[in-house]
Amino acid sequence: MSKVTMKLDDLTCPSCMTKIEGALSKQDGVKSVKVLFNASKVKAEFDDTTVSAEDLANTVTNLGYAVQSSKVKAL
């Protein structure tokens, strides 16, 4: 398992949280997702043998949000 924290540029409303959490939680290998609205961050725990942090960042980007930076930590 791994964890990723992504800093977003344009998280502007609470409905963005729901949209991002829903899309990421549907991906195979994702164990948990938490969007921190006030910090403009997304935290996810995932199985790195099934999905990569890059895949998760691409999902967020495809939803229309810019990923400013990401940090991955292996568990």
DSSP string, 21-75: HHHHHTSTTEEEEEEETTTTEEEEEE-TTT--HHHHHHHHHHTT--EEEEEEEE-
Higher-confidence residue of 12 and 63: namely 63
| For range 17-30, the mean pLDDT | 96
Q: Which domains does the chain have, with CATH numbers?
A: 2-74 (3.30.70.100)
Look at 36 and 14; give whichever has higher pLDDT. Answer: 36
